Amino acid sequence: MNDLDTIEQMHVPNADGTGGYKLLSPAQKYNRAFCTAEEIEIVEHFREFVNRELMPHRQDMEGGWHRDPKLAKETIHRLYSKLVDFGVTKVILPTSFGGLGYTPVVRQMINEEISRADIGLATKVGKLHWAISVMLAAKRDDLLEEFQPRIAGNEAWTACFAITEPAGGANVEDPALAYKTMNTIAREDGDHYVINGHKLWPGPSGPAELFQTEHLKGHLGYWVCAITDPAGGEDNVGIFYVPADSDGLEFSSPYEKMGFCYSEANTDIWFNEVRIPKRYRIDTEKGQGSKLIKGYVIGLGRLSGAARLTGLSEAVLEIVMDWTQNRIIAGTPMRERSLFAATIAEMFRSIEISRQYYLSATYQAMNPEIYGNPWDAHMKAKFSAARSFAGDTAQMVTNRGMQLMGSAGYAYETNLEKYMRDYKIVQMWLGGAERDRMDIAQGLYGPFKWAGDN
Ligand SMILES: Cc1cc2nc3c(=O)[nH]c(=O)nc-3n(C[C@H](O)[C@H](O)[C@H](O)COP(=O)(O)OP(=O)(O)OC[C@H]3O[C@@H](n4cnc5c(N)ncnc54)[C@H](O)[C@@H]3O)c2cc1C
């Protein structure tokens, strides 16, 4: 046995379905004020699946230290198809469309559990949830019926949202700018829209055939945020569905990234006179596009980010607790020394608060008649508070976790450094930590102008 075997062995998470730590078991950590005992049992069952099927393949999902793209792609597609088979991508699809019809709270708990293994894989699953939730919110039963054979069965399809543009990602999320910096234009042309523009970073993206593999049936396509009239303002923004094999789509090579190495192939997308039928505009009423983007794309997207960041932080806590139990300093397990015990306690405290808050905000989003619509500024403030707190927690937990583990935390084999690389983008996307704070302030005491040109 070499040294690395020893380190690795010490970091295999307890695989008894509860993570080994009672306080982290679904029965303890998920609040029955927001879900039923039966829903917690479903998640418990799913957690066992994560421990058994996903956890052991965390390094393979990146292709190992040397980033073997073949290994990474095969692993991700295989694990994703297992998740689809398990029913995870259709949890929020109503039963009338062949889905499981679970609540958004269950969706977020599942999000959290997958993120313990890999936050990129959870995001990949989330893309389907995102697409379904936007079509549900717009009451587009016709489109849900059209997609049903691909989203309700056991075939694995992936999907993508394209929002960010070269002029800046956070600009799109800034309500004060009212989509003025958005340069992707959907022009009406008879029964069609013709789309021209340039998006940065959407993932997974690329030529359609790249997504037809042994385990993946294909790519559903792109849910694209675009405007119909450059001079028009907020009412002209919409979400347009563009099938993955549409003529006029052009992609760059995938970017090389520090995290999310292969779970998301992120590229530039150029839309060159891409023609889609009019029914593929998801929003149908004046002003609805902006509400969907603010409430469901950005707001609930941030809430999903909060759930994922919480799961990631919990995985780090588990690694650290295992390590510090076995690391003996001057005859005593490290975690039994008060300085280190206090650090671990603070990590747990923030994770627990992150979870209870994102669950509460999700429950509130499910009850708009009491709390308000997801696109209302005060609700967006809550979603942003959830993501920003969970992001700060993940930053603190990964940092302190590595500090506690010393150089072992810096080693690839212990997995901790992977979580440190992965959490960062979830804190930054959909407008990022700064936009979160601006949205909290504006939800609290109203809009104010800050950008130079408005
Ligand atoms: C792995 C990965 C996956 C991604 N996936 C997708 C995807 O699927 N779809 C997609 O569309 N995009 C995606 N993105 C892009 C991501 O959402 C954007 O990069 C992000 O929103 C920030 O935009 P930006 O990089 O243009 O930074 P900028 O907008 O230039 O911002 C730079 C910094 O300034 C701050 N800032 C800028 N403007 C404001 C403002 N108005 N208010 C407050 N703060 C501000 C930002 O918070 C940030 O810290 C992904 C990115 C990565 C790395």
> Is the N-terminal amide bond of 94 cis, ω within 30° of 0?
no
- Testing ligand 1's pocket by substitution, the residue of 428, 436, 449, 454 carrying the most ligand atoms inside 8 A of its CB is 428
Atom of ligand 1 nearest to the CA of 176: 41
> Ligand 1 centre and the CA of 200: distance in Å?
10
Nearest CA to ligand 1 atom 22: 169
CA distances from 207 to 145, 198, 202, 249, 273 (A): 25, 16, 13, 8, 17
Name the fold adopted by 9-158.
Butyryl-Coa Dehydrogenase, subunit A; domain 1 (1.10.540)
Q: Which fold has domain 289-445?
A: Butyryl-CoA Dehydrogenase, subunit A; domain 3 (1.20.140)
The pLDDT assigned to 4 comes to: 37
Who lines ligand 1 at CB under 6 A? Answer: 160-164, 168-171, 174, 201-203, 257, 260, 264, 266, 425, 428-432, 434-435, 438
- In the predicted model, what is the mean pLDDT of residues 71-91? 96
CATH for 159-285 is 2.40.110.10
Tens digit of each residue's pLDDT (9 = 90 or more) over 163-193: 999 987 778 888 778 888 899 999 999 999 9
Mean of pLDDT over the chain: 93
Q: How confident is the model at residue 405 (pLDDT cuts 50, 70, 90)?
A: very high
Distance in angstroms (rounded) separating the CA atoms of residues 395 and 387: 12
Q: Where are the domains of the chain?
A: 9-158, 159-285, 289-445
pLDDT digits (tens, 9 = 90+) for 281-331: 999 999 999 999 999 999 999 999 999 999 999 999 999 999 999 999 999
* pLDDT for residue 216 is more than 60: yes
Over residues 239-295, the pLDDT tens digits come to 999 999 999 999 999 999 999 988 889 999 999 999 999 999 999 999 999 999 999
pLDDT at 3 over 60: no
pTM: predicted TM-score of the whole model, two decimal places: 0.95
pLDDT of residue 168: 77
**Which residue CA neighbors atom 11 of ligand 1 most closely?**
163
What mean pLDDT is predicted for residues 390-397?
A: 98
| Interval 102-158: pLDDT, tens | 999 999 999 999 999 999 999 999 999 999 999 999 999 999 999 999 999 999 999
Beta bridge partners of 243: 221
Q: Residue for token digits 């347009």?
A: 240
So what's the pLDDT on residue 450?
A: 61
The residue whose C-alpha atom lies closest to atom 37 belonging to ligand 1 is 170
Decide if 334 contacts 324 (C-beta within 8 A): yes
